[in-house]
Amino acid sequence: MAKNPQFTCTACGAHFSKWSGRCDSCGQWNSIVEERPLSSGPTSKSLGARRGAPVKLSDLGTQEDPPPRAQSGLAELDRVLGGGLVPASAILVGGDPGIGKSTLLLQAIAAFARKGMKTIYVSGEEASAQVRMRATRLDLLDAPVQLAAETNLRDILTTLEAERPGLVVIDSIQTMWADNVESAPGSVSQVRAAAHELTSFAKRMGMSVILVGHVTKDGQIAGPRVVEHMVDTVLYFEGERGHQFRILRAVKNRFGPADEIGVFEMTGSGLAEVANPSALFLSERGAPSPGSAVFAGIEGTRPLLVEFQALVAPSSLSQPRRTVVGWDGGRLSMILAVLEARCGIPFAGLDVYLNVAGGMKISEPAADLAVAAALLSAREDTSLPPDTVIFGEISLSGALRAVSQGENRLKEAQKLGFTAAIVPSGGKPVNIAGLTLNRFGDLTGFVGDMFGAG
């Protein structure tokens, strides 16, 4: 008897009982496809009369050693993994095509191989010769990495079973093909089946597996979203194509903090680690100019200074432009509304552009005050005081809220030669030598002090 068909959104992985043109869960158009489930589960609701074996229970206080970790020696990568690679863990590395995933993973696997780990790199996208060409460019030819160009999952698993490597990289999961699943490579069923087989096989064998997944916007190829729940760690490799900076961000990690980032720079000979990202993100900052504000942020466990740049210009459009790169558009509208309602500074009839320098993406609400300062400075055409960092969350009432890790933010600013900081007045008072603190309780006070209005 034919089972009821099941439909899945390729963008967000939500399930539906019938097809529709638009996914109710994520709003994506044309992303819903029919799929055949992998296993159908028990046929009847009851498990029958057979008894199972008792499961061993342990209490919460049971001592367990932390998992041993293997370090690659690439400090930025090791930190994002939570301190190194945990044996038998499954990791997904997602990112736009061409962002540098294959480059990063070839460098990473070579680093692990040089430390004595047995490694296999399976490429489903490139021939071994192409991978070797890249390895030449990256100066990795001496690393004892085994290569295979293969897409047949059954053959790959047989090889892995015989070779028993400590780490295997699958580049990419969308090219893998399980012959027991009747749909095209790259479809949701194939991606899910291949990821499921690979991760459970890796756990059984005690090897770590890194899956590469392309993120596609049009939903033609199943996004890595559908495998996120199967793996222990999800890393996204991001960056603007035109910029040389690349950020490896942990969005899920069972073995370490999420939100941790590693910063790399794409060079002619591969990805170089950036040990001091704040200095790099601020390196192109010239003399103080209107519209520029330096935000003291925290990414994961590390403070990071970035520059917000704003431009405000008279608009010829009935609906003025609001363009944001690297920050949330909804949050920008909120700050504009608070500036208008609480401080009486209108932005109607003005185009607003906001950009985070260097291609960084910021999602902390702690950047609110820096954004407001950049916008006001652009609108009033006056620079903010030089060598000053800013942070603080703005509430709808116009009050400034204290943010976490204020001291770490200020220490980083001081280390980079900043001499003043604009911060919310709430929170723990901290004293950092050489850093003058300007504290404000609300946005009106800040605007009045800085721009003589409000």
Q: Are 370 and 293 in contact (CB under 8 A)?
A: yes
Q: Are 353 and 314 in contact (CB under 8 A)?
A: no
Q: Report phi then psi at 327, rounded to 5.
A: -150, 160
Q: Does 21 bind ligand TYD (CB under 6 A)?
A: no
The CB-of-173 to ligand TYD minimum distance in angstroms stands at: 12
The CB-of-97 to ligand TYD minimum distance in angstroms stands at: 5
The CB-of-8 to Mg ion minimum distance in angstroms stands at: 25
The CB-of-103 to ligand TYD minimum distance in angstroms stands at: 3
User: Which residue, among 92, 88, 27, 77, has the nearest Cα to 225 in the 3D structure?
Assistant: 92
Please report, as residue ranges, which positions from 309 to 338 form the binding site for Mg ion (by CB under 5 A).
Answer: none
Q: Are 86 and 209 in contact (CB under 8 A)?
A: no
Q: How far apart are the first and last CA of the chain?
A: 72
The CB-of-186 to Mg ion minimum distance in angstroms stands at: 14
The CB-of-344 to ligand TYD minimum distance in angstroms stands at: 48
Residue 98 binding partner per list Mg ion, ligand TYD, none, with a CB distance cut-off of 5 to 8 Å that depends on partner kind? ligand TYD
Residue whose beta carbon is closest to Mg ion: 102
- Cα 77 to its chain centre, rounded Å, is 13
Count of residues near ligand TYD by CB under 6 A = 15
Reading the block at residue 167, the tokens are 């780490």
* Binding segment toward ligand TYD, per CB under 6 A, in 2-10, 130-138, 245-253, 342-350: 130-138
Residue 95 binding partner per list ligand TYD, Mg ion, none, with a CB distance cut-off of 5 to 8 Å that depends on partner kind? ligand TYD
Q: Report phi then psi at 184, rounded to 5.
A: -70, 150
Binds ligand TYD by CB under 6 A, chosen from 266, 310, 374, 413: 266
Binds ligand TYD by CB under 6 A, chosen from 269, 316, 319, 431: 269
The CB-of-307 to ligand TYD minimum distance in angstroms stands at: 24
Q: Does 102 bind ligand TYD (CB under 6 A)?
A: yes
The CB-of-102 to ligand TYD minimum distance in angstroms stands at: 3
Binding mask 53-92 for Mg ion (x = CB under 5 A): ----------------------------------------
In the chain, helix, strand, coil percent, each to 5? 30, 25, 45
Reading the block at residue 32, the tokens are 């819903």
Binding mask 137-166 for ligand TYD (x = CB under 6 A): xx----------------------------
* Binding segment toward Mg ion, per CB under 5 A, in 98-106, 145-153, 312-320, 430-438: 98-106
Count of residues near Mg ion by CB under 5 A = 1
Query: What is the C-alpha to C-alpha distance for residues 104 and 322, in angstroms, rounded to an integer?
Result: 35
Query: What is the C-alpha to C-alpha distance for residues 364 and 395, in angstroms, rounded to an integer?
Result: 14
Residue 290 binding partner per list ligand TYD, Mg ion, none, with a CB distance cut-off of 5 to 8 Å that depends on partner kind? none
Q: Which residues are CB-neighbours of 127 under 8 A, at least 6 positions away?
A: 149
Please report, as residue ranges, which positions from 71 to 100 form the binding site for ligand TYD (by CB under 6 A).
Answer: 95, 97-100
Query: What is the C-alpha to C-alpha distance for residues 95 and 97, in angstroms, rounded to an integer?
Result: 6
Residue 100 binding partner per list ligand TYD, Mg ion, none, with a CB distance cut-off of 5 to 8 Å that depends on partner kind? ligand TYD
> CA of 4: how far to CAs of 9, 131, 191, 233, 443, in Å?
17, 43, 21, 33, 57
Q: Does 134 bind ligand TYD (CB under 6 A)?
A: yes
Name which of 267 and 319 has its Cβ closer to Mg ion. Answer: 267
Q: Does 103 bind ligand TYD (CB under 6 A)?
A: yes
Q: Report phi then psi at 452, rounded to 5.
A: 60, 25
Query: What is the C-alpha to C-alpha distance for residues 146 and 123, in angstroms, rounded to an integer?
Result: 11
Q: Report phi then psi at 305, rounded to 5.
A: -95, 130
Q: Does 102 bind Mg ion (CB under 5 A)?
A: yes
Amino acid found at 175: T
Query: What is the C-alpha to C-alpha distance for residues 109 and 86, in angstroms, rounded to an integer?
Result: 14
- Cα 384 to its chain centre, rounded Å, is 31
Binding mask 291-320 for ligand TYD (x = CB under 6 A): ------------------------------
Amino acid found at 177: W
The residues binding Mg ion (CB under 5 A) are: 102
The residues binding ligand TYD (CB under 6 A) are: 95, 97-103, 134, 137-138, 266, 268-270
